[in-house]
Amino acid sequence: MSEKAIHFEELWEKCENFHKDANLGASVQSVLDELMMKINLYKVLVEKKEISETEYQTIKSRTLGEILLTLTNLSLKENINVFEALGVALQYRNVDQNNRKT
């Protein structure tokens, strides 16, 4: 990324604004379909390693970036505070993990 360093939350908001500015009017269902398509592509990439490791890592990174960009569209459309949602998810996972240890 050629821009000055920014915090992850600023990048997330910038991506949400990209979708807002593009104003493509995609439905939540179409965003979910796009997300599933990209996740399925990533699954295919993980199973095939017929290219150099450098190219493989570049393609996986680009695909994961596309998945994250699609998630920013979903968070925008659904008005979800992703920082809070991720924090709560981690908190619940930690509780589950601690319960399994005891």
User: Mean pLDDT, the chain, as a whole number?
Assistant: 91
Give the phi and the psi of residue 79 in degrees, each rounded to 5. Answer: 55, 55
Question: Taking the model in full, what pTM does it have?
Answer: 0.85
Structural domain of 60: 8-101
pLDDT of residue 91: 95
pLDDT of residue 3: 60
Burial 20-47, CB ≥16 within 10 A → b, else e: eeeeeebeeeebeebbeebeeebeebee
Based on the structure, what is the number of domains in the chain?
1
pLDDT of residue 1: 52
Tell me what percent of the residues of the chain surpass a pLDDT of 70: 97
- pLDDT band for position 60 (50/70/90)? very high
| Inside any domain, residue 31 | yes
| Inside any domain, residue 39 | yes
| Inside any domain, residue 3 | no
| Inside any domain, residue 41 | yes
| Inside any domain, residue 1 | no
